[in-house]
Amino acid sequence: MAKGKKRSHPTFARANYGRTSRSRIKDNWRRPRGIDNKKAFKFKYMGCSPSIGYGQPSDVKYTHPQGVLEIFAQTPADLTGAKNVVIRVAAGVGAMKREAIQKLAETMKLKVVNPRKFVPRVAKPKVDAKGKPVEAKKEETKKAETKKTEPVKQTV
């Protein structure tokens, strides 16, 4: 795979962005719709719109800035057969599965783009209302000795 830099493209602003206050029209892209929208008719003074021509070449597409392919992993099974790639762990993956993916990637000598440190959970000491630590109370409950009574025999 050729190590190439991705081509840049202009920022695609929403139609009528900048004409009113920033809170009313956001800068994120939405396709212009409507018969009177000048951006939909691609007037040059309205700015650029996304099109197929702004796409990346196939040898650079899906690559990490390091120049290698990037794999999106949700389970440890997604790493099977992976070589010369970097791994991005999905955001919704829990701590246990994330740790398993990171350990497997380490054994396979692959780099994880978004690693997390795993801190073992430690129980917090109990504190009273004033912030002083509370000692564990010893349970000194005396069990009353119960007298064993024989069941009463009923004669019929």
Half-sphere exposure of 53 (CA within 13 A, CB side): 3
Q: How confident is the model at residue 88 (pLDDT cuts 50, 70, 90)?
A: very high
Do residues 112 and 79 touch, judged by C-beta distance below 8 A?
no
Domain spans of the chain, in order of start: 8-55, 57-112
Cα–Cα distance measured from residue 3 to residue 6, given in angstroms and rounded to the nearest whole number? 10
Q: How confident is the model at residue 11 (pLDDT cuts 50, 70, 90)?
A: very high
Q: Does the pLDDT value for residue 37 go beyond 70?
A: yes
Q: Does the pLDDT value for residue 1 go beyond 50?
A: no
pLDDT at 145: 53
Q: Does the pLDDT value for residue 57 go beyond 50?
A: yes
Residues 6+ apart with CB under 8 A from 34: 40
Which amino acid is it at 102? Q
Q: Is 86 helix (H, G, I), strand (E, B) or coil?
A: strand
Cα–Cα distance measured from residue 94 to residue 112, given in angstroms and rounded to the nearest whole number? 16
Q: Hey, which bits of the chain come out as E strands?
A: 69-73, 85-89, 111-112
Tokens of 70: 């990037």
Q: How confident is the model at residue 149 (pLDDT cuts 50, 70, 90)?
A: low
Tokens of 76: 């440890």
Cα–Cα distance measured from residue 6 to residue 70, given in angstroms and rounded to the nearest whole number? 14
Q: Does the pLDDT value for residue 93 go beyond 80?
A: yes
